[in-house]
Structure 1
Amino acid sequence: MKKIALFLLGIACLFAVTACGSDPVQDELVTYLNEGIQPLVEQESKITALYDSVTGNNYKDDATLYYTLKDEIIPQYSDYISKIESIQTTTPEVREIHETLIKAANTQNSAFVTTLSALEAQDYAKAEEANTKLSEGRKLFRDYQSNLSSLASEHDVTIKKAQE
């Protein structure tokens, strides 16, 4: 009986040492990436591809851009933002990075809405405002990716790129 008690005490001490040595940021970051962000990557990629299909070199006309924004991109992106905002984080380090993602997504969505408004009003100043918001959104996404990579490196988390 004494040997069993000592064995159980030894196991309890082992678990306590492991728990004390664990890294809550690392644990949350792994969960955040695998369970929070990864399921949304495909949705965001599809929305971005849809936007790219009606802008830049793929621009056809204002009506195509308008209706694609109004009927597809903005509703889908609003759903994407809702999913991002529903991700819960507990550590300040992961929360700070996640807040940057939320701000980036909301800035990009605001750019989409401003573009729609510019098209409705045929207002070039609003179009410039939308372009500025798009630039701000891209910068925030770059900040998010950079800060996420740094935090992952600091806490020995490897981020694997999605296979294309």
Structure 2
Amino acid sequence: MRFVLIAVMAFVLALTAGCGSDPVAEDIKSYVPKIQEILPLANEAQNAFLKGGSSDEERLKAIDSIVVPKYKEFISKLEQIRPQTKELRDLHEVYIKSANKEYSAYSQINSVSVLTNIGHINDALAESRAEMRKYNDGVAELLKQHGLKIVPPSTK
């Protein structure tokens, strides 16, 4: 989930057109910092999932104690973000849908479910990635349509 999103959200958006004349552009500029603020929760959950541990028991403990709670908190904060424009609101709903699918997959992982539901879990994660690609493509298109470009943040 964090593939392109992290790359996009790790940058600062800069207007290439006039200031204040485009409500969608202004909404995007307001939206990005809100996403950046909560993204560390998702990253922490995903990193804990990927690192897991050296044994099944350690991996399951990481999922129960870090991955699921952090991702639940991330989704809670993600759902509190309310873009003002329909264009961004629609894309944000795609993001929420993707995050919920990923959370559902993480939540289903336990010693029993891994053995019986691995196909379903993998499908849910694949669906989440597909939704995230849709979100990323939509954000890229909105940036293009509204004269925004991505510029690396200052390293001062």
> Which of 92, 97, 101 is the matching residue for 1:103?
97
Matched residues, number: 137
Q: CA RMSD in A?
A: 2.2
Q: State the SS of the aligned residue for 1:158.
A: strand
Aligned to 2:32: 33
Structure 1 residue 153: deviation in Å?
Answer: 1.0
Aligned to 1:129: 120
Structure 1 residue 61: deviation in Å?
Answer: 2.5
Aligned to 1:49: 47
Aligned to 1:22: 21
User: Compared with structure 1, are the counterparts of its residues 160 and 83 closer, same or farther at alpha carbon in structure 2 (3 Å cutoff)?
Assistant: farther
Aligned to 1:11: none
Relative contact order: is structure 1 or structure 2 higher (C-alpha 8 Å, sep ≥ 6)?
2
Q: Quick check: 1:25–1:155 contact (8 Å CA) kept in 2?
A: yes
Which ranges of structure 1 fall in alignment gaps of 5 or more residues?
1-17
List, as ranges, runs of 4+ consecutive aligned residues in structure 1 with deviation greater than 6 Å.
none
Measure the CA separation in 1 of the matches of 2:62 and 2:118: 16
Q: Quick check: 1:105–1:137 contact (8 Å CA) kept in 2?
A: yes
Normalised to the residue count of structure 2, the TM-score between the two structures is 0.79
Normalised to the residue count of structure 1, the TM-score between the two structures is 0.75
Aligned to 1:112: 106
Aligned amino acid, residue 33 of structure 1: V
Of all paired residues, the percent bearing the same amino acid is 26
> Which of 129, 144, 148 is the matching residue for 2:139?
148
User: Compared with structure 1, are the counterparts of its residues 160 and 52 closer, same or farther at alpha carbon in structure 2 (3 Å cutoff)?
Assistant: farther
Name the one with the larger strand percent. Answer: 2
Larger Rg: 1
Q: Quick check: 1:103–1:140 contact (8 Å CA) kept in 2?
A: yes
